[in-house]
Each structure stands twice: as structure tokens, then as C-alpha cells.
Structure 1
Amino acid sequence: MTSASSAGPRRVVVVRHAETVDNAARIWQGHKDTELSERGRAQVQAAAPHLAAYAPSLIVSSDLRRAAATAEAIAGLTGLEVRLDPRLREVHVGEWQGLHADEVRERYPEVVAALDRGEDAPRGVTGETMAQVAHRAGTALREISDELEAGETAVVVAHGVSARVAVSDLVGLDQDVSDAVFRGLGNCHWIELVEAGKSYSEATRWRISGWNLGPWNV
């Protein structure tokens, strides 16, 4: 990992996509490819200038449409091309995909109870565990961060779960602690990561400098 220099620290800004029609309807999406809602498109228009103001050197997105559409709106203000990476996709929710949240609770009480106890059970019986998402999305985020030179910023567009677990993996935060301490990301909100060190050392590491930031609360 390159040390921060006089050019300034490296930054990674991890964004959750804008609201979708399924978000609004409380439908479990997972890898279901869903369009942005009208409210989601308005969220993108409000958030994109703030994210473009980071002057990113690269923009990387999950390949699902809701994330890619959010990323394209940011890229349109920067002149950059969006790079798609399927490793940034949302957690696969197996049999829950396409079901209403109330229906999931009614039909899968044992899985829900296991998750409530803190067990890392596969979502929707046949879906992924958080550990699996953390491995794939965390690896992707680490590779993106390693591409940056001193002073550069990457904007990464992902999903509510994949964004949180990837960030926690990058900074070395236990996933259970992360889930207990941090609230979920709002649609079109983001986490800011800065490479920082101690005043007495050249060694640096990634640190969370902002959580659930957005045009309404930065």
C-alpha cells in the first residue's frame, strides 16, 4: 500500500445505489435487476454533483442496473467511463428474491430467527452468507483501493449490504460489530474512506471518515 504524500491521502467513496421500485415496495431484490424509481432518479440528480465534486480518478460499479444507472449519472459529470464489477453485487438472497418483506418473515421464520441470533445463515436458504459477500466485495474494494495513487479518489457504487461488508472488510472491522454499530446506508448515501496514519509514523491504513453521508446531511 502506498503511503500518503504531499499530494494528499487516497480516498474511496462507497455509494449505495438510488431507490428502486422494489425498494419502495419492500421487495427483496438480491441479484434481481430492478429499475430506479422516480424518487430514485431524483435522488441521483441531487447526489451526483456532490460525488462528482470528489474529482474521482475512477468510478467502479456493480453490474446490476440500479447501481450502474447511479454510477452513470455521476460519471456524466466527470467525463469518466464506468467500470462494472459483478463482485460488488448485492448479497444473493436465494428463495427470498422477489418476495415482500412480510412474506419472508411469514414463510421463513427459522432462517429469520437464526439471523436474529447473530448466525451467518445463507439468506433465503439458497443464497449467500455475509462472509461470502465480504470476501468477494471486500476483495474487489481492496483491488480498487490499490489502484489509486497518492491524492486520488475512487467512487464505488454498490448496494446496502455489499457496501457495508466490503468497507468493514477493508478497514478490518468485525462484521458483527459493524452490523451492531452502523445503521444501514440510505439510498444514494455513501461512506467515505481515507488513507491515514499516525503523526509519528509513515505507516497508513484505511479509516472511515464519514458514514451515511448524502446531499441532505454532509
Structure 2
Amino acid sequence: MSAGAARPRRIVVMRHAQTIDNVARIWQGHRDSQLSETGRSQVVEAAPHLAAYEPTLLVSSDLGRAASTADPIAELTGLEVRLDARFREIDVGEWQGMHTDEVREKYPDVIEALDRGEDVPKGRTGETRADVAERVAAGLEDVLRDLMPGETAVIVTHGASGKLAASELVGLDQDLADRVFRGLDNCHWIELVEDRGRFSGVARWRIAGWNLGPWRT
């Protein structure tokens, strides 16, 4: 076996930097919001850490807040950002653009169902976790197809879709993942490493780090 073939592949799934809507506690979904001043600082500080993985592939959700987070990584690595709508945030339906407190006041039944762990559509007309898991899984298939042994991909995405993507890759039940793992902070990431069994050679993906970042949280 060649030295290159023996090296594991790696995928880093990153949440975008803080946005103005994050600060205002506004549900974003597919709505876009510019990075806040803090978010712009986060990107500058985080980009060298992502570049240190020496990625060969840089993928981003097509929403501006993710693409704006990916751009500084592209500048440091010389990679072109590949935009992919399948890594968008979950569609939150009627909640898009609403304040968190207003959502809790007007949609108590949906909130209660979500708090019980039920996979109901966000904002009644939005997506379920299963919907998002299906599309991010398709996006991951394309990433894996283009990722050679020993190479690393960085995927800049969102809070819910990033968590779902990581869970899909390691084969973790989404309901269990939702209970066990905390959400990603802005401009933090999950490191996933491919591990091939010593005897069988069967590839498995493992979580090497969760909610990683250059800041204390």
C-alpha cells in the first residue's frame, strides 16, 4: 500500500460566522443576513486554523453568510469555493425573519413538539431534520467522490445542517444525535476522519472533534 493510500481522508464541517440576525435572535433559515462586526472578526481569526488542515476541496452553502465565511479560507489556500445549495440551513417555513420570542408565543404547539424530540416541519411549512439529512447526504456523496486518500475537505454550512451532515457521515441516528450533541457555535467546526479497519479495510467515519474553534465557549 502506498503512503498516500494509507493516510486517512478528513472532512471539516464548519458553521458560518456570527450574523446580524444571530445577534438579534431572528430565525434565518434560507433568509440571508450579513455578518456582524464580531462575525467578521471571527472569520479572520478562524481562517488560518482551517487553512492549516491543508484542504484540497472547499465547499460552501450558497447562502451569503456561509460564502462570506468561506472566502477568507479560499484566499489563504488558493482554493475556489464550490457553492452547493444542498448544504443550506434548514428551511424554517413561517418562522423565517421572526424573532425567537415571537415564535414561541405564536407557535407553542410546534415548539412543544420539537422540545419532545419530534421531527416536525420547522415553522409548519419548513423542512424536517429528515429532509435536511437527505439533501446533505447527497452533497456529502459528491464531496467523498472528489476526495482522494489523504486529502481534506472543508464544508462551510450552518448550525442545523452541519450537525445533520456530520451525523449522516458517521451513520448516527439523527434523533440520538439531536439529544446527544450540542449545536455548533458560530465559526466553530466538526472534524471527521475516515478510519479503515486494520483487518477488514472497511471504511468508517469517526468524529475527531466537535465544536472546535480558537475561542473559549
Same topology, TM > 0.5:
yes
**Other structure's SS at 1:70 match:** helix
Extract structure 1 runs of 4+ deviating beyond 6 A.
none
Q: Percent identity?
A: 65
For 1:119 and 1:183, the matched residues in 2 are separated by 17
Alpha-carbon distance in 1 for matches of 2:3, 2:105 = 56
**What residue is the counterpart of 1:41 in the other structure?**
40
- Equivalent residues in 2 for 1:190-209 (5 A)? 190-209=189-208
Q: What's the counterpart of residue 146 of structure 2?
A: 147
Counterpart of 2:33 in structure 1: which amino acid? Answer: T
The equivalent of 2:109 in structure 1 is 110
- Per-residue CA deviations over 1:10-60 (Å, capped at 9, x if unaligned) read 000000000000001110000001100000000001100000011110100
Residues 45-81 of structure 1 show CA distances to partners (whole Å, capped at 9, x for unaligned) of 1100000011110100000000000011111101111
Q: Confirm whether residue 32 of structure 1 aligns to residue 56 of structure 2.
A: no
2:159 aligned with 1:138, yes or no?
Answer: no
Structure 1 counterpart of 2:184 = 185
Tell me the residue number matched to 2:212: 213
Q: Where does structure 2 lack aligned partners over 5 or more consecutive residues? A: none
- Cα distance in structure 2, aligned partners of 1:76 and 1:99: 34
- TM-score norm. by structure 1 comes to 0.95
Offset, 1:142: 2.5
How many residues are matched? 214
Q: Counterpart in 1 of 2:3?
A: 6
Can you list the C-alpha shifts for 1:108-143, whole angstroms capped at 9, x where unaligned? 001111111211110001100000000001210232
SS in 2 for 1:200: coil
Q: Conserved in 2, the CA contact under 8 Å of 1:5 and 1:150?
A: no
Q: Partners of 1:54 and 1:196 in 2: how far apart?
A: 17
TM-score of the pair, normalised by structure 2: 0.96
Q: Which runs of 5+ in 1 are unaligned?
A: none
**Conserved in 2, the CA contact under 8 Å of 1:138 and 1:167?**
no
